[in-house]
Structure 1
Amino acid sequence: MIGRSFFLLSLLQAVVSGQWSADNPPHVTAQNGLCARIPCQYRYPSYLNKKPRTGIWYNSETQNYRSVAFHSRYSSEISTQFQHRTRLSGVLRDNDCSLVIDNVRQQDTGPYFFRVDFGYGNRYNYHPPTQLRVIDFTDKPTIFPAEMVAGRPVNVTCSFNTTCDGTAPTLTWVTPADDPPSASHSVTQQGDTLTYTSVLYLTPALKHHGQNLTCRVTYPTVSSEQILTMAVQYAPRNLSITSPDDVNSSWVSVKEGNSAAILCSVQSFPASNLTWRHLGVTLNTTRSNNELWMEFPQLTRQDAGVYQCVAENEHGTAERNVTLTVEYAPRNLSITSPDDVNSSWVSVKEGNSAAILCSVQSFPASNLTWRHLGVTLNTTRSNNELWMEFPQLTRQDAGVYQCVAENKHGTAERDVTLTVELRGSERSWKCIVALIVLAVIFIGVVPVIVWAACCRNK
């Protein structure tokens, strides 16, 4: 009978003892500077439901008064390491023993177990403990991009999510603007997640394009930030035209027969539609990286003229002209005169004035020179024309004259023969002298023929 009673008592103790249990994870990871939460639900014999209780958390494998992380009755019992940093997230009477450690540190790493004390010997240590691991702070805030147009106000939102409801983080902005940033702040909660939000009020300028906008989250001992590179939209500007050949004041000069390439580039965001036009005709167009080449494999004089580059995006338009000139050696040199010019020959009566024009086609303009008997008479570099003038012709002015045209690409030249016709009286006198001479030598028909030939135009 005694043996049977002892067995029943042992079985009853085992059943009662089996009611002491807890649900807590074997491992918890927390980020340095944030909070650590160790979930915990504990059970105990039902006859203790209405009994007052004390909850204690230890930062050790076994019960040690020097490792008290939390004490629900006597805060003075809490270790200096955890003073004012630990609390329960639930209510002990609701069987919730979850521990929260605010501003967690690396030295907080280690085992944690919960102990409940109902008094009168009804106490229990819940094992196995939970291992807490503290890692570096890696969470970052999130910036939600907004379309930015130069001169147009915009709101930019930054948010940070956390499950820590102890120390609240601070969200701050670092902007490239000259004035201090203006922002509003709010906190919302969904379940265990707290969302801290800051809305920045900003009017971006063109100078802010490509600069950084920073949202920073700060806790007492740690902080992190998110950086957004500002993409400020603006109309095309600073349109420029360049070339491997010389470009001078919107003017490009290339030698005939050579190849040429002209680059149109612009600053804009978003990228512009770029178009090359000539004489109202579109040559080529693109929308790429704000650059567009115009190429000529082999230049002719027909390629010369004014070309226009137009850049356009949704915010505006910019355009610029460039004049393409084709350089070539002198050609088509010609000699003309108000007097008759026949097969490089000019005939003018003695005593009259005369003017002879030498003209040529070339680019750049040629040095033009008139020469006679190896002597330079006059020279010029103007509009590819050079006059040679004689106020009153004499027989000494007769002869061969040479016009020479020369530029850096070559030379052209041409001769003209100037003949001076004698005056009528002088011609008659010479005819009479000739007649007398011939009359002395010859008698008869010959003098008459000479007279007629020589003096018919006197």
Structure 2
Amino acid sequence: MIGKACFLLSLLQAVVSGQWSADNPGAVTAQNGLCARIPCHYKYPSYLKNKPRTGIWFNSETQSVAFHSRNHSVISRKFQHRTRLSGVLRHNDCSLVIDNVMQQDTDFTDKPTIFPAEMEAGQPVNMTCIFNTTCDGTAPTLTWVTPADEPPSASRSVTQWRDTLTYTSVLSLTPALKHHGQNLTCRVTYPTVSSEQILTMAVEYAPQNLSITSPDDVNSSWVSVKEGTSAVILCSVQSFPASNLTWRHLGVTLNATRSNNELWMEFPQLTRQDAGVYQCVAENEHGTAERDVTLTVEYAPQNLSITFPDNVNSSRVIVKAGNSAAILCSVQSFPTSNLTWGHLGVTLNTTRSSNELWMEFPQLTRQDAGVYQCVAENEHGTAERDVTVTVECE
């Protein structure tokens, strides 16, 4: 605050009457190190139009002369060479400018203003910063501090409307995805003081880095879960603004959320019918991203069957001696089973990770007759079945 009641105007020709009036603010806030302008306009009797006049400003706290338009020697040492009129007295303008305000208890609190603009990754944008002041003395400098890899490119201009000077700087930049969340600073600088305004950059971009994760088992785009258990699968993405997320299966929407970069898909109790390909789609106003995940449901061997191309009667196969024969053991399981054919405690044939196994007889004899057993096994369990081979003589 300049003085207790700022400065008062005194005109040597002043006469206390209703024909005289002055219009100036009751107080003016100034910043340490800057100049300050106190607007002032007055009216006087028309018959004094061509009379000489003198403008005098006083410091109301010390009653010292801050400005004298005719006699500079009476100006207080404190204000010597620091005060001047910005207007012309004969034009009814008595506005005062004080350069280099030096009040010790005054901090520079005026800040520039950044006008936010929508930023999209890879698209050029202009950012505007302005600083308003009523002081036409020392001119400020507006500069930008950016996180960009290249030095900032900015244009500068000054405009005036009535008593206000507006300093404008327009920054041209092309924001990148990596600049999202970083700071953009506009700084106003005077010879002895400065202030700044900081804007956190919100760079909009299409969905990227879509990922699918699960607490169970994730191998690239494959999720494998045991039948009968519960499962949850998370789809997450990076985007700004946040994406609309959707889970789909066989062309049907299962789950969706708006303006959220995460979406869970839950299975309270998995069955083999839940197995298949699921798709997560992320979309915002700038683009779309999608990814598939294959859900497999693991289970122990089931529905083990034994078949014979020529003759199958329940668990009995009848073949004439001297003929060939082939018997197929097949099973349903995931992961695939290890299959074994055995006879009288002896392993005849095995295969790993295959749900089918043939047992072949090139030429049957009576010694081949008997009970044969097929065993299927994976990490979740075992299944087995017997078949009796009967060899008929001619």
Structures share fold, TM-score greater than 0.5: yes
Report if aligned partners of 1:22, 1:40 keep a CA contact under 8 Å in 2. no
Structural mapping, 1:157-236, within 5 Å: 157-236=128-207
- Give the alignment of 1:254-333 within 5 angstroms: 254-333=225-304
1:101 aligns with 2:102: no
- Deviation per residue, 1:93-141 (Å, 9 max, x gap): 678665432232233xxxxxxxxxxxxxxxxxxxxxxxxxx53222211
TM-score (norm 1): 0.73
**Cα distance in 1 for residues equivalent to 2:369 and 2:305:** 20
Pair 1:246-2:217 in alignment: yes
Give the 5 Å matches for 1:71-150. Answer: 72=69, 82=79, 84-91=81-88, 98-107=95-104, 134-150=105-121
2: distance between equivalents of 1:229 and 1:105? 34
Q: Is the 8 A contact 1:29 1:135 kept in 2?
A: no
Deviation at 1:250, TM superposition (A): 0.9
Change (3 A) 1:404 1:28: same
In structure 2, the partner of 1:432 is none
Report the counterpart of residue 317 of structure 2 in structure 1: 346
Cα distance between partner residues in 1 of 2:330 and 2:29? 94
Contact 1:55–1:92, Cα closer than 8 Å, also in 2: no
RMSD: 3.3
SS for the counterpart of 2:367 is: helix
Distance (whole Å) between structure 2 residues aligned to residue 182 and residue 414 of structure 1: 81
For structure 2, the residue ranges without an aligned partner over 5 or more in a row are: 1-12
Opposite residue 30 of structure 1, the aligned amino acid is A
Instruction: After TM superposition, give the deviation of residue 282 of structure 1 in Å.
Output: 2.0
**Structure-2 change in CA distance of 1:51 and 1:274 (3 Å):** closer
Residues 40, 151 of structure 1: alpha-carbon distance in 2 compared, 3 angstrom cutoff: closer
Q: 1:298 aligns to what SS in structure 2?
A: coil
Confirm or deny: 8 A CA contact 2:185 2:199 kept in the other structure: yes
Return the alpha-carbon distance in structure 2 between the equivalents of residues 98 and 78 of structure 1. Answer: 17
Q: Conserved in 1, the CA contact under 8 Å of 2:36 and 2:134?
A: no
Of 359-368 and 235-244, deviating more is 235-244
TM-score scaled by structure 2?
A: 0.83
Matched, 1:391 2:391: no
- SS of the equivalent of 1:322 reads strand
**Offset at residue 238 of structure 1 (A):** 1.5
Q: Are residues 349 and 42 of structure 1, via their aligned partners in 2, closer, same or farther at CA, if it must alter by over 3 Å? A: closer
Check conservation: 1:368, 1:386, Cα contact below 8 A: yes
**Residue 61 of structure 1 corresponds to which residue in structure 2?**
62
The structure in which a higher percent of residues are helix is 1
Bigger radius of gyration, 1 or 2? Answer: 1
Between 1:323-332 and 1:144-153, the stretch displaced more is 144-153
Matched, 1:34 2:38: no
Separation of aligned partners in 1, 2:360 and 2:14: 136
Partner residue, 1:114: none
Query: Aligned pair 1:151/2:136, yes or no?
Result: no
**Which range moves more in the overlay, 83-92 or 254-263?**
83-92
Query: Which residue, 400, 403, 428 being the options, matches 2:371?
Result: 400
Amino acid at match of 2:261: N
Conservation of the 8 A alpha-carbon contact between 2:339 and 2:375: yes
**How far apart are residue 374 of structure 1 and its match?**
2.1
How far is the alpha carbon of 1:43 from its aligned partner?
11
Of 215-224 and 200-209, more deviation after overlay is shown by 200-209
CA shift, 1:232, in A, is: 2.2
- Residues 41, 61 of structure 1: alpha-carbon distance in 2 compared, 3 angstrom cutoff: farther
Query: Which one-letter code corresponds to 2:102 in the other structure?
Result: R
Percent of paired sites with the same residue: 83
Alignment correspondent of 2:329: 358
SS of the aligned residue for 2:195 comes to strand
Per-residue deviation at 1:39?
5.8
Q: Deviations over 1:319-353 (max 9, x none)?
A: 21111111111110011122423221222233333
Q: Secondary structure at the match of 1:29?
A: coil
The one-letter code sitting in structure 2 at the alignment partner of 1:292 is L
Q: Separation in 2 of the partners of 1:322 and 1:100? A: 72
Task: Show CA shifts across 1:183-217 (max 9, x none).
Answer: 21111112211111111122222332222222111
1:302 match: secondary structure = helix
User: What 5-or-longer segments of structure 1 have no aligned partner?
Assistant: 1-15, 108-133, 425-458
Measured in 2, the distance between the counterparts of 1:84 and 1:375 equals 117
Counterpart of 1:103 in structure 2: which amino acid?
A: N
Q: Do 1:333 and 1:359's aligned partners in 2 also have CA atoms closer than 8 Å?
A: yes
Deviations 1:139-166 (A, max 9, x none): 2111112222222222221111111111
Deviation of 1:407 (Å): 1.4
Check 1:371–1:237 CA distance in 2 against 1; reply closer, same or farther (3 A cut): same
Pick the aligned partner of 2:348 from 377, 381, 385: 377
User: In the comparison of the two structures, how many residue pairs are matched?
Assistant: 378
Match of 2:3 in 1: none
| Inter-CA distance 389–35: structure 2 relative to 1 (3 Å threshold) | same
Give the drift of 1:363: 0.7
The verdict on how the C-alpha distance between 1:278 and 1:54 changes in structure 2, with shifts beyond 3 A counting, is closer
Is the contact between residue 126 and residue 171 of structure 2 (CA under 8 Å) also seen in structure 1?
Answer: yes
Cα offset, 1:74, TM superposition:
7.0
> Could you give the per-residue CA deviations for residues 1-48 of structure 1, whole angstroms, max 9, x where no partner exists?
xxxxxxxxxxxxxxx99759997777543222333345668999x99x
1:204-263: per-residue Cα shift (whole Å, max 9, x none)?
223322222221111112212222222222222222111222121211111112222222
Change (3 A) 1:309 1:92: same
Task: Give the conservation status (yes or no) of the 8 Å contact 1:88–1:98.
Answer: yes
87 and 416 in structure 1: CA distance in 2 versus 1, 3 angstrom threshold:
same
CA contact (8 A) 1:278 1:306 kept: yes
